[in-house]
Amino acid sequence: MRRFGVKMQLGFSAVGMAFLALLFIPNVLWTRSRPSGYDEVSRHESRVLLAFERVVQAATTCAAIVFVCPQGLSLPWLLWLVAATALMLLYGLAWVRYFRGGEELAGMYAPLGPIPVPLASLPVAAFGLLGVWCQSPAVVISAVVLGIGHIGIHLGHLLAH
């Protein structure tokens, strides 16, 4: 499929599925024991940002699964995938730090080096780079809009906490 000079290819993306697994597994673990104070902080979330987040979560999930890289693992496209994977690995590291740190509310929002709210910003950036790798404006746009909602909500939690 070629639109606006971009070569997109539909199919099942095992890479996208792997990224989603790396995203969802720690979140499922987190839902079993939310930190004390989270429910109170989440009551004050912006409805607009929450709408952005919820609507685009589904779009990002679907787009990550159905768009595959038409260039495969060739250079320089492979570098985009390596960068996206590095961000997802940092995301996993942020979760390990959170779970080992006593699962405190402050640990959810603590920066990872220079990266603010890493549990929100790292997966959004990773999915944006995944979209560049698979040359899919749909994945990139959904990641950007998801970032507006998801990162915005987490920054709001950080400021409220």
Q: Which pLDDT tens digit goes with each residue over 12-56?
A: 989 999 999 999 999 999 998 889 888 888 888 888 888 878 888
Q: What is the pLDDT of residue 88?
A: 97
Q: What is the pLDDT of residue 43?
A: 87
102: phi > 0 → left, psi -120 to 50 → alpha, else beta; which?
left
Q: What is the pLDDT of residue 56?
A: 86
CA angle, 109 as apex, 105 and 112 as ends, to 5°? 130
Q: Which two tokens stand for residue 72?
A: 């495969």
Q: What is the pLDDT of residue 3?
A: 47
The helix (run of H) or strand (run of E) holding residue 3 is strand 2-3
pLDDT of 144 > 80? The answer is yes
pLDDT of 4 > 70? The answer is no
Task: Give the mean pLDDT of the chain.
Answer: 89
Place of tokens 């070569």: 7
136 or 125: whose pLDDT is higher?
125
Place of tokens 């970032």: 147
Q: What is the pLDDT of residue 39?
A: 87
pLDDT of 74 > 90? The answer is no
Summarize the confidence of residues 126-135 as an average pLDDT.
93
Beta strands in the chain (DSSP E): 2-3, 6-7, 9-10, 67-68
Q: What phi and psi, each to the nearest 5 degrees, are found at residue 96?
A: -60, -45
Q: What is the pTM of this model?
A: 0.88
